[in-house]
Structures are given as structure tokens and as C-alpha cells.
Amino acid sequence: AQYAPATALCINMHNYWVGDAADLWRAGDESGEWILRDAAAGEVFAAGHAEHGNDIPGLLSTTKAERVDGGYRLTGRKAFGSLTPVWTRLGGHSMDTSVANAPKIVHFFMPRDTKGYTIKDTWDVMGMRATRSDDTVLEGAFVPDKYIARVIPAGVAGADMFVLGFFTWALTAFANVYYGLALRMRELIVDQLKSKGSIALTRPMAYHPEMQHGVAEISMDLEAMGPHVEAIAGDWSEGRIGPDWFLRLVAMKHRTVEAAFRIADRALDLSGGFGMFKKSELERLFRDCRAGRFHPANPALTHEIVGKISLGINPDEQPRWG
């Protein structure tokens, strides 16, 4: 993550499915054992959760799931599909609304050789460009029952350990990617300030009080980031989770990503104007860092989840606001 954050982000999209399946298997749930076997055989898993017009990915879906003989037929559009050129199993979710007032989320894994989908070359973005996260348009793609991981009620109420698991693996790893990126930003700016000079100074810019202040702010942010990520990862691994788990999870991801962006912004300031040239690694990392706020849960959804749980409001309660 420090030296290739986009690569680390891609690997996470594979790892969070495999990690989730491994956790379930250790707990006695063998429903995802096939995921472990496929991964061991070289299959590459990717995530298909992001959708246009859906700010609650994983819990609701704009992708239609129609029950047919032997499986589900899927129609919709998935965005931010990291690993698009190489995935062999697209893990995602869809929604079956065939029963009035009782929508179901259908979690699926679509093999690459499935018919009825098209990949659209859409990934022309400012940061994390190496993830190659193109759109996948599902046009009645059929996924057989053996690749259906869960069919559960929509919303937070339907989230079982499979859902909690992939959210936890994903958000913890997202946070860790941006923590690693922030560590690299500090490494770069510290090295630069030790050798950077000014005609107005007799010693390197590292002796400038404002440079010292800025690096101190970066270091203090980093001191809080690592332990927060490790605490959530450790609590999940040791089974120390409770009814406030979603609150703690999204809060950790939010705080880590926000701190990483502060560090990226400050490091670019400390580097001076030459830091914004395309040849600068700081410039690329600054662009990459901006993507962190878009990963679920985004700032708006994070504050909604944390606020509602803190106030004892059911996140699934309708109307959503007012």
C-alpha cells in the first residue's frame, strides 16, 4: 500500500471475498468453501457492489434479480469494478422485488464466461487509475444457484455474518490502503525537506519551523490512524463485536481516510509548487488519496449510520429522513 496503493486496492477486492469465506469456514459455516477452493485454484475474485443511483451499496440494489429455474437472471449496471481486465468471478449483489414490501438481496458470484453482460470502458479518472475499475452492464445474465451466496432481507436487518464479514474485510482493508499511502507521503516529504534548500536559509528546509510544524501534524495523524485500524481488525478477529459494530467500522474507515487526505494535502503544501508536477510521486499519491472518500461508506452515509445508531434510530426505518 505504501508503494503501489492502486495495486493494494485491487488485491483487497479479491482478498475481502476470500477472507470472508475463510472466517465463515473457521466458524463452521462451509457455504463459502467453494470460494476458498476456487481462489486456491487461481480464480480471481472482484467486487460488483457500486451502482449509479444507490448510496447504500450492499444493502439495497438497483440491479434486478429475477428468480428462474436453477438460479437468477440479473439486469443492471455495476460501476467501480476494480480488476476488470482479469477477474474470473465477479462478486456482487442484486435485489429481488417479486414479493411486495419484502425485497430480498441476492448475493452472487458471476463467472467470467457467463453470457449476457458487457464491460464498458469507463475508467478515465483522476486517481487510482491502475485499478482499471470499469463498468459491467448486466443484460439478463444468468447465475446458477451454486454461485448464489445468500438471499436475505434487504437493509441492515438482513445483514448476517457473510455480509458483516465482507463489509469488515473491505472497509478495514480500504482504511489500511490509505494508511499505507499516508506513510509513504510522510516518507517522501521528510526525505525531501532534509535536502531541500532556500537561498534565504543556511541549512535545509527541515530546520524551517513551519516545515517542522507541518511534519509534526502529519506524524500525529499517523499515530492515531494505525492503532484505530488495528483495533477494529483485532476485535473482528477475536470475535469482539456487538450491536454497534457498523458504527465502529464505518467510523474507523472515515477517520482513517480523512486523516490520510489531510496528510496528502499537507505534504503537497510542504513540498512546494514543484510537488504538483506529473513527475512527482506526491502528485500521484495526492490524486490516489482523493478516491478514499468515495469508498463505502462515503462521508454522508457514515454520518447517517453513526448518528442513527448513536441515537437509537433503526437505520432501516422509513421514511429515511423527516
State the pLDDT at residue 18: 98
The mean per-residue pLDDT over the stretch 76-104 comes to 97
Would you place residue 322 in the very low, low, confident or very high pLDDT band (cuts 50, 70, 90)?
Answer: confident
pLDDT digits (tens, 9 = 90+) for 169-217: 999 999 999 999 999 999 999 999 999 999 988 999 999 999 999 999 9
312 burial level (CB within 10 Å; 0-12, 13-18, 19+): exposed
Percent of the chain with pLDDT over 70: 100
DSSP 199-252: TT-SS-GGGSHHHHHHHHHHHHHHHHHHHHHHHHHHHHHTT---TTHHHHHHHH
Cell for 64?
Answer: 434486478
- The partner residues of 212 in beta bridges, in order of sequence, read none
Q: Which helix (H) or strand (E) holds 48?
A: strand 45-48
- At 140, phi and psi to the nearest 5? 80, 30
- The answer to whether 168 and 119 have CB atoms below 8 angstroms apart is no
pLDDT per position as a tens digit, 29-55: 999 999 999 999 999 999 999 999 999
Residue extents of the structural domains in the chain? 5-154, 161-311
CATH T-level topology, domain 161-311: Butyryl-CoA Dehydrogenase, subunit A; domain 3 (1.20.140)
Domain 5-154: homologous superfamily in CATH: Butyryl-CoA Dehydrogenase, subunit A, domain 2 (2.40.110.10)
Does pLDDT of 17 surpass 90?
Answer: yes
Please compute the mean of the pLDDT values over residues 156-166 and round it to a whole number: 96
The rounded distance, in Å, linking the Cα atoms of 29 and 25 is: 5
